[in-house]
């Protein structure tokens, strides 16, 4: 698994194309030729950009769900709604399809934020609001998620 680092600002043009910042493009260089999957995020009004290898790992897990259970079928349908295969063009631009632009509310200002093995793509205003809204709860969240006793997972 490749981990990405950083938060970057850029602009989307009228056609929904955004120029991937050079620092991020360098991090993506090993996976550029394989393409990406772009999808709606589950919990936030943003998009998630999966390198194809990461998407395939995720789909292998989803494919193990029993499709004879209605909730599994409903989950798969909603999870994959609006999924698109996308590529970074020779000029280093990523085209965001119109339906995904509408979902995320992206107009011009864009934030590309690393989220371990994927990149979140946000409308700049919504990203700043999400960060501000979470700031007061982050200490409690960090303790709950990462503050397990030694031996649980080795993180300390």
Which DSSP symbol is given to 91? T
Residue indicated by tokens 């632009």: 101
Q: Over 80: is that where the pLDDT of 153 sits?
A: no
pLDDT digits (tens, 9 = 90+) for 60-86: 999 999 999 999 999 999 999 999 999
Rounded distance between C-alpha atoms, residue 147 and residue 43, angstroms? 23
Query: What are the Cα distances from residue 67, in Å, to 75, 77, 80?
Result: 10, 11, 14
List of residues 6+ apart from 3 with CB closer than 8 A: 114, 116, 117
Q: Report the pLDDT averaged over residues 86-109.
A: 95
Say which DSSP state 45 is in: S
Angle between helices 138-146 and 124-135 (to 10 degrees): 80
Judged against a pLDDT cut of 70, whether residue 152 lies above it is answered with no
In tens, the pLDDT along 2-44 reads 799 999 999 999 999 999 999 999 999 999 999 999 999 999 9
């Amino acid at each position: 698994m490749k981990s990405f680092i950083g938060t970057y600002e850029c602009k989307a043009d009228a056609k929904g194309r955004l120029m991937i910042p050079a620092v991020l493009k360098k991090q993506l260089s090993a996976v550029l030729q394989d393409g990406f999957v772009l999808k709606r995020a589950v919990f936030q009004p943003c998009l998630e950009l999966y390198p194809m290898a990461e998407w395939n790992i995720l789909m292998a897990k989803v494919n193990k769900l029993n499709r004879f259970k209605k909730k599994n079928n409903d989950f798969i349908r909603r999870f994959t709604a609006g999924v698109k295969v996308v590529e970074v063009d020779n000029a280093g631009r990523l085209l965001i399809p119109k339906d995904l632009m509408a979902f995320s509310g992206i107009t011009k200002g864009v934030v590309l934020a690393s989220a371990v093995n994927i990149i979140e793509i946000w409308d700049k205003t919504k990203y700043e609001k999400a960060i501000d809204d979470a700031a007061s709860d982050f200490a409690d969240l960090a303790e709950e998620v990462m503050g397990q006793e030694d031996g649980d997972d080795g993180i300390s």
